[in-house]
Amino acid sequence: MTDYTFPVIIGVIFGMAARLYMLRTDYRQYPTYIHGQVIHIALGFIASGLGAIIMPALIQEEFTAITFLTLAATQFRDVRNMERNTLTQMDSYELVSRGSTYIEGIAIAFESRNYIAILTALITTTACIFFSLVVGTVVGSILLFFHGKAINVRQSIKGYRQHSKRGTSL
């Protein structure tokens, strides 16, 4: 095992935890089907793995690995396009269409959640490498806490808007 094994494992764990936390916190409750959830979890694992190995690759001066990571990260944009096309096709079968703006919002959220998993894994792994495994774990926990706070704030703002449209306040 190398010096980077445990930091990478911890980074992947926290990146996956961030992605799993964001899986069902959107007000749209998407994805609702198990195959959709499996796709989200698998891509979250890939994103976490990519984020966790960025810093060790930079330290080892493995620039071909960095090029590969950049190429892999661009694939998330293609996955977003695929997600948009799939949702557009599914929307054509719905009784009431959700519209292209709604579908684009889901596709953008899908892509950005993978980038958040990459960033969480990268920051956690970096803290583990440059400080200690304990510090990295604390940093990862703090990141998860802030992800949760940010999501809850967005949901409470949306809840306020819904109540204020009805003429009531919170």
Q: Give mean pLDDT, residues 31-51.
A: 83
| Higher per-residue pLDDT: 136 or 100 | 136
Q: What is the pTM of this model?
A: 0.80
pLDDT at 136: 97
Is 90 exceeded by the pLDDT of residue 131?
A: yes
pLDDT at 30: 58
Tokens 């493995």 found at: 62
On whether the CB atoms of residues 88 and 65 are closer than 8 A, the answer is no
On whether the CB atoms of residues 125 and 51 are closer than 8 A, the answer is yes
Q: Report the C-alpha gap between 92 and 40 in whole angstroms.
A: 23
Give residue-wise pLDDT tens across range 72-91: 778 888 888 888 888 888 88
Please report, to the nearest 10 degrees, the dihedral formed by the alpha carbons of residues 151, 152, 155, 159 taken in order.
-170
122: closest CA among 7, 45, 39, 44?
7
